[in-house]
Structure 1
Amino acid sequence: MRWALNLMSLLWFQFLAFLFVSGVAQFANISQPVSVQTAELGDSVTIECQINSSMKTRVWYRVTTGRKLQLVAKINKKGTILFGSQFNQYNKLYSVKLDGVRTYLHIFYATRGDIGTYYCGVAYADFIDFGSGTFLQLKGILPAQNTIKAFTSYNTKMKVSVVQQPESESVQPGDSVTLSCSVHTGGGEHTSVLWLKSSESSGSRIIYNSGNQSESCERTESGSPETSCVYKLPKQNLSSDDAGTYYCVVASCGETLFGNGTKLYIKGKTLKLKIHKAVSLGILCNH
């Protein structure tokens, strides 16, 4: 059964990669005019997004400082708004408004827990096309998970942590570099790992799918279900086209966890980054 799940996951990611590379996927024109929005604790906040697309299904997602991707709300083809489990409409703290090509996410009373980056997007059958994101910061308040070690992501529900190294790398054209991603699992979770590259010129795209194969895995203690695996992405004969931010992405049991990213600078090229496209990821969980 495990090999079948691994095969399904691999085929799924390869199909998504095909959509991106082949150009079959026609992306929407999505604009989030404000990249950083600052408010006071308790303020009312409205985040704007402009979407020019024939697709009717709209979504709002939030990425927290711990790099957990959370569904805020989904607007289906009929205009019905469905909120994610952590953003239940009955708590009266969030609302979504559609006005032509514009969609607005409204937070009635901003709290520390609202700090994060909000992405609007268009949902297709097999992927989601995202805007560039709006980071919401509250004056005088640090993000709730700011104590997390640099370039480390952790998800308590998944019991998975992701560490990317190095944080940034600057190389000459023609050089080689190896990016590293350490994935620590706390309970023997079945995980699949892939790499995403994000740049202004090409958006975000899957560049390598590791499946559940890694360079090395070891148990932290004898008899313990906890394991630590290292995934490596070698890049050779680098050119200006390789500049961007590389994300190690872990999918496990229906959850997706992003590493904090490694910025790759090619000397002689100015690096401008926008995470303006992403894919929806999913994986079956063994019980």
Structure 2
Amino acid sequence: VYHRWTPIIMILFLFLSDTLVPVITVELHEPVTFTCVLADEDFIRNGLQWYKQSVGDNLKLILTLRKNANPVYEPEFSGSRFIVKHDKNISNLTIVRTIKEDKGMYHCAVRNWDKFSWSGTYLTSDYSVVQSTVSDPVHPGDSVTLQCSVLSDSESDTCPRNHSVYWFRAGSDESHPNIIYTDGNNECEKRSDTVKSCVYHFSVDISSSDAGTYYCAVATCGQILFGNGTKLDIDADI
């Protein structure tokens, strides 16, 4: 049964866990690099494979890399756009120029006798989340409005405009962030021919205990994206 607090629990789990699949957000036409850390330098002896998996699709082999040999690319993936480099126990796969079809999960897989290693990174290029900054200290009694902008590729934006937006506050004396739930006020505007911006606001009436870093989290299109945080410094001397 889906409960309205379920997204909050999921977001908090993603926020605090260091074992979940990492997410990389990249602007279209920009390069991106995925890194695979192997157990040891000889782990590649029987071959390392890089795979791509789009949502709802099967794994597709990108290339196979063996020790002291050139990488072997599959026909669907060009060696001019996908570049692999290997140094000791680290393998990097770079997409030279991303397109919207590159969105998906990228896996590296290695097996050497009874050892097996598998890791993945999720790539998204449709959305990015940017938060505004507050450069000057604020005082108790002030009202501050935080801003969270969701940038999307307007050509491929097939999801509803009303994203689910959540706010967190991480104080300097707290080990975990506090959840602040808000629907938020939002407005969408087309920033250019290819980019659309949805802006969400969250107002805080400042007290001396409100110092910390505020994060917005946006649930949209089956993924959860985090902003880079807005730090509030409280100056109690008036």
Larger Rg: 2
